[in-house]
Amino acid sequence: MSIGVQSFAELYATLIGWQQYDAMWNLLTQTGVAYLPFIGIILKNIAQPYESQETKSAAGTSLRRMEVDLIIKLLLIFFAVSPALNLDANVISYTPVCQPDGQQNTYHAGDTGTTYDQAFSVSTSEIRVPIFWYAVLSFSAGSTAAANTTVACVPDYRKMVTQVDMTQIQSAPLKQELQQFEQDCYLPARTQYLKDANTDSSNIPVIQNDTGKYGNDDTEWLGSHGFQDTYYQNLKASQPVSGFPYNPSEDVNAGAYPDGTPTPAYATPSCSEWWNDPESGLRARLYGALPASFLTEFKDVLSSDDKLQDDVVKRITSNGGGDYSANDNVHETDNVGSNLLERVGLIFSEMETYPTIYAISQAAPIVQALLLLMAFSFLPFVLVFSGYKPATFSAGAIVIFSLYFWSYIWHLVGWLDSVLMQAFFNDSWFSFRSPNETLVTIIIGFLQIVAPLFWFGFMSALGVAAGSFIATASGAFGQLASGPSEAAGSSGANVAKTAMTMGRNKVVAMAKEMNKAKS
């Protein structure tokens, strides 16, 4: 039988948790603490009958109650407390619900390909689990896995947006080249655009057409399509740019260099070529700053929309230590300062919220796994100190099932997050976001925390109710076993009382007859 978990952390937490259970149970048995509940059973079943019955009847009641309690406790210890079944790495496995390209990879402890393999060293050959809890694990894991398959797999847009928002330009030469591009291309182009805005320049209709296609803010960033189709074609880099091979036919100074002067290693490309070259262009290099795994995971989302790719590049440039936009260089209105501060404040607020929500979704499975580890480790103490009450086993089973089912809740919340983001963001994933889009973030953040707690509280109440029912049933069974002796004792007492009453009445009648005869 195989037990499937829902995260790499849970894979190791399950093994370590039951390893600790085995060790703690051995500790309790070796110190004798595990046998203390039996002393309580003996004392309780002797004291209670003697408080309410005659000595002879109480002895029979005590014996029968003791027999019932001991049989129940011994069965519980054998099936639900004492470790019996081996739990090894081949039994515990993790198969991600949503995998790229229809893959069905299954991972076991030691070969997950993650840093958990080096962080945890588990001796799986010595781990044992009680029969009852093994069944609880199988049912909980199977139910959770089946529930997860009912939720459709969609792109993780939260991860996509957060990854782009957190991507920084690490290359110092690339940062310097961006600044050079801004000075040589963007600022001259925007200055000329502002001059041509109130004229009949042929460039204005081209820019207006691109603005209608790519958005009103197209002229507000380095990769403006309007500038690429106009000014960038006539502007060039002021000095050679790495990655663009020198071509004498494009150099107006070719042949005019003094003797002994080395030929330039690189060319001075036009601004359009400098930005759009598929290998050495700034756009391609900025886009390549994203992790390769990100580009693979979201290739279907990003490759179908050039504007979306522009938004990605725009966001990365704003994360690179400078804003690289017109607002830093051109003051068009008297209120530009307050507008800029407001916009920067909102952007920083969003960028602060997004990693928080994403961090919660990433930390949630780890927290769940550690809670399961703690539950498995503390379980022997709970069972012993509760006196092996049947209600404790039912409550513990419901708690463990509830913890396992958190995986489904978070999977469902993740699906809702992607669906709501798709509905409210309207493909403006990396541009300035509206209050409705911020509302999605608040809702999802609330659900990620409250939904599992609500589920756990609901199931805990159910566990208490189930425990009370089992306790009541167990008590009724004990009373049923002790009922015949109690009835016999009660009947014997009544017979004796009746006999004594009849004898006393007969003696009184005989005395009265003798007194009449004398008189």
- Cβ atoms of residues 152 and 415 within 8 Å: yes
Tell me how many degrees the CA angle 337-324-264 measures, rounded to the nearest 5: 145
What values do phi and psi take at 330, rounded to 5? -125, 130
- Is the CB of residue 236 less than 8 Å from the CB of residue 184? yes
- Angstrom distance (rounded) from CA 221 to CA 325: 5
User: Residue 25: is it exposed, middle or buried by C-beta count within 10 angstroms (0-12/13-18/19+)?
Assistant: buried
Specify the pLDDT at position 260. 52
The region of weakest confidence among 296-305, 336-345, 376-385, 480-489 is 480-489
Q: Give me the residues paired with residue 107 across strands.
A: 94
Q: How much is the average pLDDT of 347-369?
A: 72
Q: How far apart are the first and last CA of the chain?
A: 99
pLDDT for 259 equals 56
Amino acid sitting at position 490 = S
Instruction: Give me the mean pLDDT over the 115-123 stretch.
Output: 81
Distances (CA, A) of 103 to 95, 318, 410, 422, 491: 10, 36, 22, 25, 75
User: Which percentage of the chain shows pLDDT scores above 70?
Assistant: 72
| Alpha carbons 320 and 193: distance in angstroms, whole number | 26
Give me the pLDDT at residue 371, please: 94
Query: CA–CA separation, 173 vs 178, rounded Å?
Result: 9
pLDDT at 506 over 60: no
- What is the residue whose two structure tokens read 């529930």? 147
What's the rounded Cα separation, in Å, for the pair 236 and 270? 4
Q: Of all helices (H) and strands (E), which one includes residue 92? A: strand 92-94
Least confident residue range of 6-15, 180-189, 313-322? 313-322
- Beta-carbon neighbour count of residue 235 at 10 Å? 19
Give residue 483's pLDDT: 45
Residue 144 contacts residue 136 (beta carbons within 8 Å): no
pLDDT of the residue at 422: 84
Length of the chain: 519
**What is the C-alpha separation between 286 and 17, in angstroms, rounded?**
45
- Is the pLDDT assigned to residue 343 strictly greater than 70? no
pLDDT at 296: 82
Instruction: Report the alpha-carbon distance of residue 190 to residue 185 in Å, rounded.
Output: 9
Residue 255 Ramachandran class (φ > 0 left, ψ -120 to 50 alpha, else beta): left
Backbone angle region of 243, left / alpha / beta, with phi > 0 → left and psi within -120 to 50 → alpha: left
Determine the Cα–Cα distance for residues 207 and 217; give it in Å rounded to an integer: 11
Selected residue with higher pLDDT from 86 and 467: 86
Q: What is the pLDDT of residue 344?
A: 45
Q: pLDDT, tens digit, for every residue of 1-53?
A: 678 899 999 999 999 999 999 999 999 999 999 999 888 877 776 766 666 66
For the segment 253-265, what is each residue's pLDDT rounded down to a tens digit? Answer: 555 555 556 666 7
Burial 258-296 (b: 16+ CB within 10 A, else e): eeeeeebeebbbbbbbbbbbeebbbbebbbebbeeebee
φ, ψ (nearest 5 deg) of residue 86: -75, 145
Averaged pLDDT score across all residues of the chain: 78
* Contact status, residue 34 vs residue 383, Cβ threshold 8 Å: no
- 125 has pLDDT over 50: yes
Overall average pLDDT of the 141-167 stretch = 89
Residue 169 is predicted with a pLDDT of: 85
| Sign of the alpha-carbon torsion through 391, 393, 396, 400 | negative
Beta bridge partners of 4: 93
CA 223/CA 186 separation, integer angstroms: 8
- Evaluate whether 369 touches 13 at the Cβ level (below 8 Å): yes
345 sits in which H/E element: helix 336-385
Which residues are 102's β-sheet partners?
A: none
Residue that the structure tokens 């949503």 belong to: 98
pLDDT of residue 368: 94
Tell me: pLDDT of 140 over 90: yes
What is residue 234's DSSP assignment? T
More confident residue, 260 or 356: 356
* pLDDT value of position 331: 35
Provide the pLDDT for residue 103.
77
Q: Quick one: pLDDT band at residue 512, thresholds 50, 70, 90?
A: low
Which segment of 148-162, 236-250, 487-501 scores lowest on mean pLDDT?
A: 487-501
Mean pLDDT of 406-418: 93
**C-alpha atoms less than 13 angstroms from C-alpha of 263 in its C-beta half-sphere:** 9
Helix (H) or strand (E) holding 85: strand 85-86
Q: Which residue has the tokens 């230590």?
A: 321
Q: What is the longest distance spanned by two Cα atoms in the chain? A: 172
Average pLDDT score over residue span 237-244: 87
Give the Cα separation of 402 and 397 in Å (integer).
9
CB 370 within 8 A of CB 11: no
Return the structure tokens found at 461: 């109440």
